[in-house]
Chain A
Amino acid sequence: MQVWINGNAVEVDSEMTILQAAGKAGVQIPTLCHLEGVHEMGVCRICVVEVKGSRNLLPACITKVREGMEILTHTARVRRARRTVLELMLSDHPNECLSCGKGSACELQQLARELNITDRRFEGSYSKRIIDDGTPSLVRDSGKCILCRRCPTVCSQIQGVSAIAPIDRGFKTVIAPAWKESLINSPCVLCGQCAAVCPTGAIMEKNDSQKVWNALSDPGYHVVVQAAPAVRVAIGEMFGMEPGTPATGKMVTALKRLGFDRVFDTNFSADLTIMEEGNELLQRIREGGKLPMITSCSPGWINYIEYFFPDLLEHLSTCKSPQQMFGAVIKTYYADKMALDPEKIFTVSVMPCTAKKYESQRPEMASSGYRDVDAVLTTRELGTMLKEAGIDLAACPDGEFDEPFGPGTGAGAIFGNTGGVMEAALRTVYELVTGKPLDRLEFNEVRGLKGIKETRVKLCDMELSAAVIHGLSNVRPVLEEIREGRSPYQFIEVMCCPGGCIGGGGQPFSRDKDVRAKRMQGLYKEDESLPIRKSHENPAVRKLYEEFLIEPLGHKSHELLHTSYKSRR
């Protein structure tokens, strides 16, 4: 059909919104609350346009086109209304841009520039400011909240958690857990998806960079760092690189320049996880253990099941996540090997995740007698630290991960994608069971952004039925099935965040709707580029078993690499 945008005829699809139609016509309409495909509520009213025949201005983001519609996007009336709406928002927003952690990533600030706002027209009272820093992962500052409502939408629609919702009315409206409690007393899983979509600094990860700076500048500490696979395909975004560009080598150099004594690859412990988890699965299948077995490397997911489905905790693999396994190995095996006092080793991990901060602080994550992981940085925090230190990641030469753990395998790398753990596990389990090498390493059915993916793999005389789920709202029906005893699967991979870790709550902010797909491709590329692509072939892992752990699921493994769960109800 045809519509008229600012007097120009545009051919559009009947399902399009005015915003999309305008985009097609090359007309930019400012938006703020809108997140295509995720949050389409039309609440901020920044995108209003004039439509002939309509008494009021209409929100372009949710108003569908009609045949012959005459749309005016930048008339004096529209610009005045938009300015007023934005000026109103600014009138209830603290004047703290200079010291706000969100910095220039703030969409409100960007919009104020775009609309050429140069003063604060409305003066008035500020709504009550509640700062919730009760969790180790996230800090919520209602003073900076513009009530775009992206966070409750993501929390309820994408994650199915509904920990936060609008409370109270009018000027007193606030997004908060029930009874305006702290997140720590809510069902919040700390996935940080709210922080990832927040246009302002109202929800941010709890900043741990100072802790890391302190360790780095303390000569008494041996400071090591591990970096998760999803980090390397995203951190470049903060330095002007295209999303998904693998920046592994540059990142290693940058971390070394930052002052870490050793830089390790979490891919190593991902491989280690596969060794333990793959064997655990086989053991459960062979010995009649609890099935289906569900992966346990995503800490947001662990929080979810502990809160919402505590009766199903036995289905979880007892494996610690790669982050925690690595920490435990560093404080024991590595300390021994390097003749270091574990007390004096400070382990840092760089994660795409906010829930990892919480995970690292769980009391049980210290089975070596020392905290497995001392500090967790999100990808964003690392990027900010590099900038503070004047390190341009994009300009860094490639470096290599330090021994004794080396670079890890392709199987470890794809851990960052939804389906990656499954694929890595299948590569190993298949060969462990059949004793034959796989013809093709790629398991395409478990790749991609579909919410629930399934696969069946023939392993000698048995067929393994598996599912891959990401985004917690997709988990509920599968768990209900398990609860009712009708689950068709033996093995399920669950990743808390949509897309897996590459879409984690600690990743660089992006409004690029294809950002997840690009990062995923980056990891698959990384996998392909690596000489070793199966976890059980990782020489460092083999060496670890030979020198220290003896065998998967062995006594030491049990002590250091496995854990248990409890109901959070």
Chain B
Amino acid sequence: MKLYRNHVLVCGGGGCQSSGCKEISRQLRDELIKLGIGDEINVVITGCMGPCSLGPVMIVYPEGIFYCGLKPESVSRIAREHLYEGNPVKEFFYRDPYSGEAMATIHEIPFFTRQKKVALRNVGLIDPLKIEEYIAFDGYFALAKALSEMTPFDVIKVVKDSGLRGRGGAGFPTGLKWELTAKASGSPKYVTCNADEGDPGAFMDRSIIEGDPHTLIEGMAIAGYAIGAEQGYVYIRAEYPMAVEHLEKAIAQAREYGLLGKNILGSGFHFDLEIRVGAGAFVCGEETALLSSVEGKRGEPRPKPPFPAEKGLWGKPTLLNNVETYANIPAIILEGPEWFKSMGTEKSPGTKVFALAGNVVNTGLVEVPMGTPLGDIIFDIGGGIIGKREFKAAQTGGPSGGCIPASGLNIPVDYESLKEWGTIMGSGGLIVMDERTCMVDLAKYFLDFVQEESCGKCTPCRLGTKRMLEILQRITEGKGKREDIETLKQLGEDIMDTALCGLGQSAPNPVLNSIRYFLDEYVKHIEKHHCDASVCAAMFLAPCQNACPAGVDVPQYIEYIRRGMLMEAVATIRERNPFPSVCGRVCTHPCEDRCQRAQMDEPMAIRSLKRFAADYELQNKEAFYFNEDQQKANGKNKTVAVIGGGPAGLTAAYYLSLWGYKVTVFEAAGQLGGALNYYIPPYRLPNDVLAREIDIILRSGVNVVLDTKVGRDISFGEIRNHFDAVFVAIGTQQAAELGIEGEKSKGVMTALDFLSRINRGQRPEIGDKVVVIGGGSTAFDAARSAVRLGAKEVCILYRRSKWDMPALPEEREHAAEEGVKIFDYVAPVSIIPDENGRIEGLKCIRMAKGEFDSSARRKPVPIEGSEFRMDVDTLLIAIGAQGEVEGFEELELTGWKTFKVDEDTMQTSMEGVFAGGDCIHGPDTVIQAIADGRRAALAIDRYLGGNQEELEKAQQHKPRKIYGSIVETEQERLRVPLLTPEERKNNFREIELPFDIEACQREASRCLRCDVR
């Protein structure tokens, strides 16, 4: 036998085939020959290795060095630098999705290390077309053992003892099925294999047949021996031509080697296999339908009983298992039942293969012990959610299954717990979804699938699924009715109760399951006509507009910018948001998260475009469209008090005033602006920009009373008595405390206090070493302000992973450029003061990843004994804030010390008193406060007898039009010029620099105009 220095295994799975693995291996072989080492290195194309999204991939043995994302050029370099010169090429290593660190071998990459391969033991390791390679890995030894040392009864006993359960979905005990078939009267008997893998996204059976066809043959032959069958059929879908081809070749080889056919291994046992190619009906995965199809009839289920074990193919006892189940058999026979039971859980022993798909970094095929926590599969093996978005749900079991929400990330994945959560194992599809998935739409997708695939034989499945689908369609079009949810539930239950086969009986599952966990989404679609995920397009103009809490007509103002109509652009923004300049700078831009352009290259730079237009307005004439005549025409002679001059209060005041109300704003401080004024540092939001924006708002005729705090300077009752309606928007100013020892030491302050002093023009005294605790924008604002005040060393401590920080990625990036260090998985334990009561150090503890919490983030748990000390001169605490509600005792509160309001009317417990902004949600974004202010204004208008809402609705259906063409080739997103880190480190100048109209228009022409349909 020829010995090679290295074996290079190139993945030949479906994913890698389509990304060009054949080209890669050809290139590699050519290159090796060119280098003169063609006979030292063996290049093998194997079955699927699993990490499909990284493809094409290959592994160099003996070291196990893993290369991914290969291109023909990269292969040439690997051939030369690694295989010829001996230096592995780091550039093509796998990179940890969290740290970005390069990982060399399969022995360290969690995708591989966390797996345990039984069914897939040879897949990706051998050349599937060579029976010798299979035999070299103990192939057919189990068959030989069964035939020579075991009676059929022994074989069945081993399978029973192993606890193996059918991997096709329902998890019926395999050994029991074998026993029933063996005991059934009737002859001949048949062994059949379900390789009609039809769940969207599942491809483990295909990979096994393509990558290790002999294991299926061996498993089926053993089954034939056990139940007394001499003929087997493999039912493969026609969509798997490569699987058919590999299995055909493997069967021919096995026959040639005497491992199929007459008198196998001289034992007197005959067994042969035939392939039946299915035409691709999902229902043919149902066992009786599959058998009908094998018989050559229309693939339709028949009623059970009789079960196939009694009356299967042509009325004879028939054993039916799926590919993965058979693939486990040889290993169980060879290694014994105890070995098998040592993996997995008590009731679900062994391993399970999952096809990981959806919004997860490492999509592909993975095999893990049963009982592995769901979160581990998704976040460790799968590498987490793409783009670090929020995990929403994991779908298992395909169209018959359901979704598990974030609260289920800790469950051990086995048959029992999935059932408990209202879903099923199915064939092992595992689709990961982030916040961009609409659960109503998802349920609709699966239902659409099953209703298309229903065989049409029984009434409930044929018509019931269609009616459910129609209801879901209505809901996603914003035409849902309140009773629809109840109808869906009832209809679903009745279908499950009455349908003829497993397909129908489980068809309503995705709907019932999503109603169970995501009822609020259904309600929102039906009652608010809103799809948070921006999927149900009939209910909004464009995803960006839908994602904006204030509902700003983004595509419209982008269109105006493109046409150079900047005033019109600003006027469009101002219809929903009176703070275009502010939001152009500090908005968290949820609009960009939903931008469809991201699927092509990058999302639109919406915030920057807004800033450009707004700045233009501030520097030139004003787009402010208020005029007194209109106000008079609207004149309503009603008075409204707004308590709190922050973004929520000013927004409400602005719109109410425009609509003709007499509005008075009461502000406790000496200046308007609230958090915008006091907590956002000038390098992000210059004071004059805010001042001019507020000035425009005031010109709508708003009265302002400064330095007047409710409860101190005026009573709430007095205000209530003097005005027809009151809007309370007092925000949250009371910073949260850590609650640890030494918090009162000098040098310890809240980030809010620190920031507000800076904004009032003070320079708070800080030491050389500044530590900030927290992970939100406030923490970063404080840290970066500390840098600007001259601190020598600034670091941020966060108890979770840095990926879990609520601050935006660009904030992290900018802070890092300015020298701020981030330490994650660290929590403060106590503050160490010096003898003067001044902070000297901070005792910290390291945290480890714990279980997942309901936000789909791992709960940090302290690592015992990991305490350490840091030297600290100034400690800034930025862990949140709460409202100060003194003076408002008459209003009912929630448990979070926020005002309780009716969700629809925004009215508090007191009639005519409304509330909005942070004082009802807790600390939130600026755009949310603005949205609340406008919603409150509409609610107050309605309360006072106005009809503004109807007027606006009537104006909504303007025709949408595109002027000019859209750039449909890849084009880089607008980059906003920034001061360099050096330029910005010692001052509070705004770090974003202006840019020109050509750049903006170029950017605007990238907008795909999703609103035009």
**Do A and B interact with each other, yes or no?**
yes
Where the two chains meet, the residues of A that have a C-beta atom closer than 8 Å to any C-beta of B are 42-46, 48, 56-57, 59, 62-64, 77, 80-81, 84-85, 88-89, 91-92, 122, 124-125, 146-147, 149, 165-166, 168-173
Residue in B456, B460, B467, B490 whose beta carbon sits within 8 Å of that of A45 in the complex: B460
Complex contact B498–A48 (CB within 8 A): yes
Does residue B455 face the partner (Cβ distance < 8 Å to A)? yes
Q: List 18 A-B contacts (CB under 8 A).
A: A42-B458, A43-B500, A44-B458, A45-B500, A46-B459, A56-B496, A62-B303, A85-B460, A88-B459, A88-B467, A124-B470, A125-B470, A147-B456, A169-B281, A169-B454, A170-B452, A170-B453, A170-B454
Complex contact B491–A84 (CB within 8 A): yes
Mask of B284-315 contacts with A, CB within 8 angstroms, 1/0: 00000000000000101001010000000000
Chain A min CB distance to B63 (Å): 52
Complex contact B457–A171 (CB within 8 A): no
Complex-state Cα separation, A173 to B460, whole angstroms: 13
Mask of B484-505 contacts with A, CB within 8 angstroms, 1/0: 0000001100101111100001
Complex contact A85–B498 (CB within 8 A): yes
- A43 contact set on B, CB distance < 8 A: 457-459, 500
Does residue B736 face the partner (Cβ distance < 8 Å to A)? no
Residue in B281, B456, B491, B500 whose beta carbon sits within 8 Å of that of A171 in the complex: B456
Majority secondary structure of chain B interface residues (helix, strand, loop or mixed): helix
- A172 contact set on B, CB distance < 8 A: 456
Complex-state Cα separation, A171 to B298, whole angstroms: 16
Complex-state Cα separation, A169 to B454, whole angstroms: 6
Complex contact B463–A91 (CB within 8 A): yes
- A166 contact set on B, CB distance < 8 A: 298, 300, 456-457
Complex contact A171–B497 (CB within 8 A): no
- B464 contact set on A, CB distance < 8 A: 84, 88
Does residue B610 face the partner (Cβ distance < 8 Å to A)? no
B282: nearest chain-A partner, CB-CB? A169
Given A56-B505, A89-B463, A91-B463, do A48 and B497 touch, yes or no (CB 8 Å)?
Answer: yes
Given A169-B453, A170-B452, do A45 and B466 touch, yes or no (CB 8 Å)?
Answer: no
Chain A min CB distance to B33 (Å): 53
Complex-state Cα separation, A122 to B462, whole angstroms: 14
Complex contact A45–B454 (CB within 8 A): no
A86: nearest chain-B partner, CB-CB? B459
- B215 contact set on A, CB distance < 8 A: none
Complex contact A92–B457 (CB within 8 A): no
Complex contact A42–B303 (CB within 8 A): yes
A124: nearest chain-B partner, CB-CB? B470
Beyond A44-B458, A84-B498, A169-B456, list 17 extra A-B contacts (CB 8 Å). A42-B500, A44-B459, A45-B459, A56-B499, A80-B494, A84-B491, A84-B494, A85-B459, A85-B460, A85-B494, A88-B460, A88-B464, A88-B467, A125-B466, A170-B454, A170-B466, A172-B456
Q: Which of B489-548 contact A (CB under 8 A)?
A: 490-491, 494, 496-500, 505
Complex contact A169–B497 (CB within 8 A): no
Does residue B1005 face the partner (Cβ distance < 8 Å to A)? no
Residue in A46, A59, A124 whose beta carbon sits within 8 Å of that of B467 in the complex: A124
Complex contact A124–B459 (CB within 8 A): no
- B455 contact set on A, CB distance < 8 A: 169-170, 173
Chain B min CB distance to A165 (Å): 7
A84: nearest chain-B partner, CB-CB? B494
Chain A min CB distance to B893 (Å): 45
Chain A min CB distance to B534 (Å): 27
- B298 contact set on A, CB distance < 8 A: 165-166
Complex-state Cα separation, A56 to B452, whole angstroms: 23
Chain B min CB distance to A408 (Å): 47
Chain A min CB distance to B702 (Å): 51
Complex contact A84–B466 (CB within 8 A): no
- A147 contact set on B, CB distance < 8 A: 456-457, 459, 462
Complex-state Cα separation, A466 to B298, whole angstroms: 38
Complex-state Cα separation, A307 to B251, whole angstroms: 43
Interface centre among A77, A170, A171 (most CB of B within 10 A): A170
A33: nearest chain-B partner, CB-CB? B459
- B466 contact set on A, CB distance < 8 A: 124-125, 170-171
Chain A min CB distance to B447 (Å): 11
Complex-state Cα separation, A42 to B504, whole angstroms: 14
A-B Cβ contacts below 8 A, count: 104
- B459 contact set on A, CB distance < 8 A: 43-46, 85, 88-89, 146-147
Complex-state Cα separation, A208 to B319, whole angstroms: 55
Chain B min CB distance to A103 (Å): 23
Complex-state Cα separation, A124 to B463, whole angstroms: 10
Complex-state Cα separation, A397 to B276, whole angstroms: 67
Complex contact B465–A170 (CB within 8 A): yes
- B470 contact set on A, CB distance < 8 A: 124-125
Chain A min CB distance to B934 (Å): 37
Does residue B122 face the partner (Cβ distance < 8 Å to A)? no
Residue in A62, A89, A170 whose beta carbon sits within 8 Å of that of B451 in the complex: A170
Complex-state Cα separation, A63 to B498, whole angstroms: 13
Closest 3 CB pairs of A and B: A173-B456, A170-B454, A88-B463
Complex-state Cα separation, A172 to B451, whole angstroms: 10
- B283 contact set on A, CB distance < 8 A: 169
Complex contact A45–B499 (CB within 8 A): yes
Complex-state Cα separation, A43 to B462, whole angstroms: 11
Complex-state Cα separation, A168 to B457, whole angstroms: 11
Chain B min CB distance to A159 (Å): 18
- B451 contact set on A, CB distance < 8 A: 170-171
Chain A min CB distance to B678 (Å): 57
A122: nearest chain-B partner, CB-CB? B467
A64: nearest chain-B partner, CB-CB? B305
Given A147-B459, A166-B298, A170-B452, do A56 and B303 touch, yes or no (CB 8 Å)?
Answer: no
Given A169-B281, A170-B462, A170-B466, do A81 and B498 touch, yes or no (CB 8 Å)?
Answer: yes
Complex contact A169–B452 (CB within 8 A): yes
A59: nearest chain-B partner, CB-CB? B303
Complex-state Cα separation, A44 to B281, whole angstroms: 22
Given A57-B498, A84-B494, A88-B467, do A171 and B460 touch, yes or no (CB 8 Å)?
Answer: no
Complex contact B303–A57 (CB within 8 A): no
- B498 contact set on A, CB distance < 8 A: 45, 48, 56-57, 81, 84-85
- A124 contact set on B, CB distance < 8 A: 466-467, 470
Complex-state Cα separation, A165 to B297, whole angstroms: 11
Chain A min CB distance to B501 (Å): 10
A85: nearest chain-B partner, CB-CB? B459
Chain A min CB distance to B451 (Å): 5
Mask of B446-484 contacts with A, CB within 8 angstroms, 1/0: 000001111111111111111100100000000000000
Complex-state Cα separation, A77 to B305, whole angstroms: 22
- B458 contact set on A, CB distance < 8 A: 42-45
- A81 contact set on B, CB distance < 8 A: 494, 497-498
- B496 contact set on A, CB distance < 8 A: 56
B452: nearest chain-A partner, CB-CB? A170
Complex-state Cα separation, A122 to B488, whole angstroms: 11
Complex-state Cα separation, A169 to B463, whole angstroms: 11
- A46 contact set on B, CB distance < 8 A: 459
- B303 contact set on A, CB distance < 8 A: 42, 59, 62-63
Complex-state Cα separation, A88 to B491, whole angstroms: 10
Chain B min CB distance to A33 (Å): 9
Chain A min CB distance to B306 (Å): 9
Complex contact B281–A77 (CB within 8 A): no
Chain B min CB distance to A419 (Å): 33
Complex-state Cα separation, A447 to B456, whole angstroms: 41
Complex-state Cα separation, A166 to B491, whole angstroms: 25
Interface centre among B281, B497, B499 (most CB of A within 10 A): B497
- A122 contact set on B, CB distance < 8 A: 467, 491
- A77 contact set on B, CB distance < 8 A: 497
- A64 contact set on B, CB distance < 8 A: 305
A174: nearest chain-B partner, CB-CB? B456
Complex contact B460–A84 (CB within 8 A): yes
Complex-state Cα separation, A92 to B451, whole angstroms: 15
Complex-state Cα separation, A171 to B505, whole angstroms: 16
B283: nearest chain-A partner, CB-CB? A169
Interface centre among B303, B453, B465 (most CB of A within 10 A): B303
